[in-house]
Amino acid sequence: MEIKQIYLKLTELLKNSYSPYSKFKVACIVKDEYGNYHHGVNIENISFGATICGERSAITSLVTSGAREIKELYLMTSSDKFVPPCGICLQFISEFMHPKSSVYIFDSNKRYKHWLFENLLPTSFSKENNKDDIHE
């Protein structure tokens, strides 16, 4: 998909957000290693801890389909600002996305910014840094 098509799809997806409490809508599209696109939106719950973010919603779709790698991530919120993923989502994304992969964050004014994932989460808790390499 071209970036304009991504923007239009994210705009459509925002309408599916279930955010009656915060009124903050989130839509996410992730592209997997096979070139397929997976969609997600935030789904709130009166028990706030049970809320799922749009990013995690899209990633669960990716994994359910049998894919295991995020090649690109596209994110949009109902804000007119460029809102990055929350901390929990960044950690969740790190399980499936290479640090040098691209993240595109859109605002509500048809603009976007591009980041490498490593710039959004430079020091994740990961398989690589969870090895027994501690020295005294």
Q: Where are the beta strands (DSSP E) in the chain?
A: 26-32, 37-41, 70-77, 97-106, 112-116
Catalytic machinery residues: 55
Is the separation of the CB atoms in 75 and 103 below 8 Å?
yes
- Secondary-structure percent of the chain, ordered helix, strand, coil, rounded to 5: 30, 30, 40
Provide the 8-state DSSP code for 85.
P
